[in-house]
Amino acid sequence: MVKSIVILFFLFSLLGVGAQEHAWVYFKDKGGVAAALANPESILSARALARKSKFNIPVDERDVPVNENYIAQVKGEAGITVKAKSKWFNCVHVLGSINDIASLSNLDIVERTSYADRSLSAKTRISAKNKIKRDNHSDKYLAQKTDFVYGESQAQITQLKVEALHQLNFMGEGLWIAVMDGGFPNVDQLAAFSRIRNNNDLLGGYDFVDRTTDIYHPNGDSHGTRVLSDMGGYIENEFVGTAPNASYMLFRTEDVATETPVEESYWVEAAERADSLGIDLINTSLGYSTFDNSNYNYTPAEMDGNTAFISKGANIATEKGMLVVNSAGNSGSSSWGVVTAPADANVYTVGAVDINGAYVSFSSRGLNAQGIVKPDGMAMGRNSAVVDENNFIVRNNGTSFSSPIMTGAIASFWSALPDKTNLEIMQLVRESSSMYQNPNTQMGYGIPDFDLALTINGVKGQNEGEVISDNTLDYILFPNPMETNVQIQLPFGTSMAILRLYDIYGKRILEKKITPTDNQISVEQLSQAMYIVQLEMGGISKEYKLLKK
């Protein structure tokens, strides 16, 4: 009996010594904070400082880099490998045995250690019954290559009414977008990206997995190349991304060969780099919930926007003024079902619909675990047109592609309203969406209408007091935008017309006979939104858009 106990003890000791665990090691301080904050240009680019100043975002201690001497001390400890660092959290991501990681607490500079396997952390216990079998998220994009039909990219643009932005030359000009993904092979050579290269809008980037600036090498997969195409790709007469005039920085944070928690740390480190360089938007077509080692798995209840390391980082990215757009995930038909981190955070989360605007079953559902509406919006994620690493236009499935389609659309919209904050832009997009008044767990707020968003916000449409006039029937409606009343002037010689007022969902709000003497309707009780007026006379009807301020 004693011999058996000794053997078991010996085996557990071996496990403690040899098994490699992922953990975050948090430092007590940084050192040199006051000097760095007194000279913020030493830690942030001029563009980053200008963006923060514009939107009244303070430069604080989180912007100060991690103390490199502290990192060196941790690296010098036996059995420890430092994989990533985070200035926002003042920590490093390490690999090592349980015993070696535990010994780091003896360093005076270390405040605490948090294991990715939360059962090993003193403050958090996850029982075995709550562990979930690995729901392999290797379907981060669902490939379905088919021959491209000419002009197919128009479907994903017109579904969101992005053409209304492009027609007014709002195409993301002046905005910088960071794309965080698994690989960007041939972006530096493909004809589809010659437009952004020739316009100096391909800003380079960094591979956080292999720690190299060679981001176009084939070590990563082609997922990022395809994702980028839906924003910045352009092939004349064949393919147009949603933000062809934006500038792009490419960060590889996903190691497609494995699924481990260090990828969360790569992502946070990349987001910090993006913020320090002045990036405006981040697109992430990635999601984390289960890992190769099930001890690191999250549970659906932990998709609350505040548990996963990557979600906490995404929240800070938003707080720092960047607009983060993230794919909802492709787990809608699996046992997992719900959105994955960081889609659960304070970001704009995008699900997938088909060409007809119908929910696609693989699209991960909301709400998040705190009851916040997720997804935030929907875009085309079934048979999305993308450009692959060989410059062929193909079709792919997945929220991986509805996300960049939306990111580019939002960037183009933001270029029309450059003085709005990231949170304001996200809310304006939600308010223009098809289900804003009645969101659900599959579609969230629904499909945005960027034409409507432009009009509601005064970028497109009539100014105060201007009239809408139709040359055929010569109706005149004013004022537009409207506040309390709308007056209708009938065509000359007309004694009566029928007016019907609809909301943007097609619900009839009122119907009234309009005559030359009774030609006014009250709109004082209506909510601020876009409405459709239908005027019918002699069997001929005309429709007009009216905006309620």
Residue positions annotated with a catalytic role: 181, 223, 400
Closest CA relative to residue 205, chosen from 150, 252, 240, 255: 252
Radius of gyration of the chain measured on its C-alpha atoms: 27
Token readout for 436 is 């804003």
Report d(CA 478, CA 462) in Å as an integer.
10
Strand order in the sheet with 520-522: 468-469, 476-478, 485-489, 520-522
Place of tokens 């991690």: 66
Q: Is 537 exposed, middle or buried (0-12, 13-18, 19+ CB in 10 A)?
A: middle
Place of tokens 């499935």: 397
SS (H, E, C) 156-223: HHHCCCCHHHHHCCCCCCCCEEEEEECCCCCCCCCHHHHHHHHCCCEEEEEECCCCECCCCCCCCCCH
Q: Is 154 exposed, middle or buried (0-12, 13-18, 19+ CB in 10 A)?
A: middle
Question: What are the residues whose beta carbons fall under 8 Å from the beta carbon of 52, sequence distance 6 or more?
Answer: 44, 58, 59, 320, 321
Token readout for 78 is 């036996």
Residues 67/85, Cβ–Cβ less than 8 Å: no
Report d(CA 108, CA 117) in Å as an integer.
24
Report d(CA 390, CA 128) in Å as an integer.
46
Please state the φ and ψ torsions of residue 441, each to the nearest 5 degrees: -75, -20
Q: What angle do CA 67, 72, 76 make, to 5 degrees?
A: 150
Closest CA relative to residue 406, chosen from 431, 385, 381: 381
Helix locations, 432-505, DSSP H: 450-456
3 state DSSP class of 87: coil
- Separation of CA 288 from chain center: 14
